[in-house]
Amino acid sequence: MIPNDTSTSLIMIFGATGDLAKRKLYPSLYHLYKKGKLAEKFAVIGTARRAWTHEQFRENIKESIITFVGTNDQIDDFASHFYYQPHDVTDSNSYIQLKKLAEELDTKYSLQGNRIFYLAMAPEFFGTIADHLKSDGLTETIGFKRLVIEKPFGHDLESAESLNAQIRQSFAEEEIYRIDHYLGKAMVQNIEVIRFANAFFEPLWNNRYISNIQITSSEKLGVEERARYYEKSGALRDMVQNHMLQMVALLAMEPPIRLTTEEIRSEKVKVFRALRPIEGDEVEKYFVRGQYDKGTIDNNEVVGYRDEHNVVPQSNTETFVAGKLMIDNFRWAGVPFYIRTGKRLTTKSTKIVIQFKNIPMNLYNKNEQLSPNLLVIHIQPEEGITLHVNAKKSGRNIQTKPVKLNFSNEADNGINTPEAYEKLLYDCLHGDATNFTHWDEVALSWRFVDKISEVWENKQSSFPNYKAGSMGPFEADKLLQQDNFSWWDVTDLDVENC
Ligand code: BG6
């Protein structure tokens, strides 16, 4: 929860000229500022290689707000809190300059020595920066110090362990905020509330009443300009190791004894520990990989993955993953958690479908199976929940029809809920690490994923195997068919179709 009620802080952003900073961080800080959620006493130092002045930096901040927020209200005052420092992440002199500027701003804004170091840049520099922050004296401060790290946190367990060991030389675990932006999404945070604040879900939330759970996170976009990173990552490392497994943990965890960061994390860790390892020959039975071929998205022809910029012609990188996860504990034994995620699919959508078991018989029509009850959690783009139940068709005969009880977060609030980054920045400013990933979660999820990538990397696949604009390879359907299930069509489940 919130141990510190002051958000007064100096925020240092490494990678201040990058895309993430422009698209997400500056707009989020601006929203917090406008809502009065940022202390009046705040300052931001942006660092990057470019030789910009403070003024040039502020112009860029304003441009980012105008482009991504669409307003210039109070923009000069907001931008006046921003400072720039040209920086070479490997050179001590840069850090010495940075320290000087930090101390000046500390005095100017009375920042009480509170410092947030936000690493929004290439992961290969995470360790180096953390080392320098300590050796060049930036972490010596009378206030708090926090390190915010973007993903990927390592490339596999081994590299993640060595990165962790390195940054732990400069920061304690509780000072490290590992970002998983899915944990900032309103409806991902809502999973816990839906489960633990309602009398009728929790008693049914187990293998006696739930037949399977499906989590789909599909994207229309392709690899865009990120092939250099994505070629080494693929969908398994890019989406499954973090976002997908985090959603699984929130769905599967036991109720924490209280809502503290430690208690929630410890319940999530237990889920990861109970995940059945999938290795060797099992991988083929439990996981499916895919890579997109050319196809049509929104009536536009798009190229196949192998023809994208910076992708090697015979690339073995997966742009789609579907998997069946088993959680071997008392609550979940026997209930498959199916996950699927991919690029260049039919629609941009993240949804969770909890499918309840069929009731023992259909009193209304012996020859037909009643539609199963579903709880659909709409993570994005719409936010809400839908409950699928059976009711009586109007008319004299008693016949059933499936109906949907729908709650839309957007309709309720009238406006879009805050961006994930806005919430995460706010939490970090207040010292609340609940929605960031603890090292134990990172380590266990890499351990799980590594066994799958080991098999995939050593075996050439028959890619491409799905058309852009489809919902992935046929094998992903077979994965469920062999258990007598099928994927719920995410577009059918959209709120507007309810
Ligand atoms: C990022 C991945 O973590 O999540 C991207 O690196 C992916 O490849 C993105 O596109 C998806 O996020 P969202 O919020 O659009 O679902």
Residue 432 CB less than 6 A away from ligand 1: no
**Is residue 401 packed enough to be buried (19+ CB in 10 Å), middle (13-18) or exposed (0-12)?**
exposed
Separation of CA 180 and ligand 1 centre (Å): 10
Ligand 1: residue whose CA is nearest its atom 8: 238
What is the H or E stretch that residue 379 is in?
A: strand 374-380
- Report percent pLDDT > 90 for the chain: 87
Alpha carbons 155 and 121: distance in angstroms, whole number: 15
Cβ distance 306 to 313 under 8 Å?
yes
Which atom of ligand 1 is nearest the CA belonging to 182?
14
Instruction: Say how many Å lie between the CA of residue 131 and the centre of ligand 1.
Output: 29
Q: Looking at ligand 1, which atom is closest to the CA of residue 238?
A: 6
The reply to whether ligand 1 has any atom less than 6 angstroms from the CB of 219 is yes
Round to whole Å and give the CA distance between 102 and 122. 23
> 153, 163 in Cβ contact below 8 A?
yes
Whether 238 is in the pocket of ligand 1, judged by its Cβ within 6 Å, is yes
pLDDT digits (tens, 9 = 90+) for 428-455: 999 999 999 999 999 999 999 999 999 9
Structure tokens at 498: 């309810």
Closest residue (by CA) to atom 15 of ligand 1? Answer: 219
Using CA atoms, how far residue 414 sits from 382, 383, 411, in Å, is 13, 12, 5
Q: From the CA of 147, how far away is ligand 1's center (Å)?
A: 22
Q: Distance, CA 238 to ligand 1 centroid (Å)?
A: 8
Q: Is the dihedral of CA 197, 199, 202, 204 positive or negative?
A: negative
For the question of residue 243 being annotated catalytic, the response is yes
Are 418 and 31 in contact by the 8 Å Cβ rule? The answer is: yes
Q: What is the pLDDT of residues 143-168, one digit of tens each?
A: 999 999 999 999 999 999 999 999 99
Of 7, 215, 23, 209, which is closest to residue 120 (Cα–Cα)?
A: 23
Task: Tell me the per-residue pLDDT of 205-241, one tens digit each, with 9 for 90 and over.
Answer: 999 999 999 999 999 999 999 999 999 999 999 999 9
Which residue has the least CA distance to atom 10 on ligand 1?
A: 219
Nearest CA to ligand 1 atom 5: 238
Per-residue pLDDT tens over the stretch 301-319: 999 999 999 999 999 999 9
Q: Which helix (H) or strand (E) holds 408?
A: strand 400-408
Compute the distance from residue 347 Cα to the ligand 1 centre, in Å. 14
Element housing 32 (H / E): helix 26-34
**Measuring CA to CA, how many Å separate 278 from each of 187, 244, 383?**
29, 16, 32
User: Residue 6's pLDDT band (boundaries 50, 70, 90)?
Assistant: low
Position 410 scores a pLDDT of 72
For ligand 1, what atom is nearest to the CA of residue 350? 16
Give residue for tokens 């009398």.
Answer: 199
Q: What distance in Å separates the CA atoms of residue 448 and residue 321, rounded to the nearest whole number?
A: 14
Helical ranges in 49-122 per DSSP H: 54-68, 75-79, 92-109
Helix (H, G, I), strand (E, B) or coil at 341: strand
Enter the tokens of residue 225.
């300009």
Nearest ligand 1 atom to the CA of 219 is 10
Q: Which residue from 213, 446, 207, 210 is spatially nearest to 328, judged by alpha carbons? A: 207
495 by Cβ neighbours in 10 Å (0-12 / 13-18 / 19+) ranks as buried
Residue whose CB lies within 8 A of the most ligand 1 atoms, among 151, 221, 236, 243, for a mutation test: 243
pTM for this one? Answer: 0.95
**Ligand 1 midpoint to CA 305 (Å):** 17
From CA 293, how far away is CA 474, in angstroms rounded? 14
Selecting among 31, 243, 388, 438, the annotated active-site residue is 243
Instruction: Please tell me if the CB atom of residue 422 comes closer than 6 angstroms to any atom of ligand 1.
Output: no
Query: Contact 380/408 with Cβ under 8 angstroms?
Result: no
Q: How confident is the model at residue 414 (pLDDT cuts 50, 70, 90)?
A: very low
Ligand 1 center from residue 316 Cα (angstroms): 20
CA distance 243 to 303: 27
- pLDDT exceeds 80 at position 403: yes
Would the pLDDT of 416 be above 60?
no
Question: Which pLDDT does position 1 carry in this prediction?
Answer: 38
Q: Give the Cα separation of 454 and 435 in Å (integer).
A: 29
User: Of 195-199, 254-258, 360-364, 476-480, which gets the smallest average pLDDT?
Assistant: 360-364
For 120-186, strand residue ranges (E) read: 145-149, 176-178
Nearest to 386 by CA among 346, 360, 355: 355
Rounded-to-integer distance, Cα 157 and Cα 178, Å: 15
Nearest CA to ligand 1 atom 2: 238
What is the model's pLDDT at position 423? 94
**459-476 mean pLDDT:** 96
Please, what's the b/e burial string for 462-484 (b: 16 or more CB within 10 A of its CB; e: otherwise)?
ebbbbbbbbbbbebbbebbeeee
- Which ligand 1 atom sits closest to the C-alpha of 230? 8
* Closest CA relative to residue 466, chosen from 235, 290, 218: 290
Question: Best of 20, 219, 383 to mutate for ligand 1, by most ligand atoms within 8 A of CB?
Answer: 219
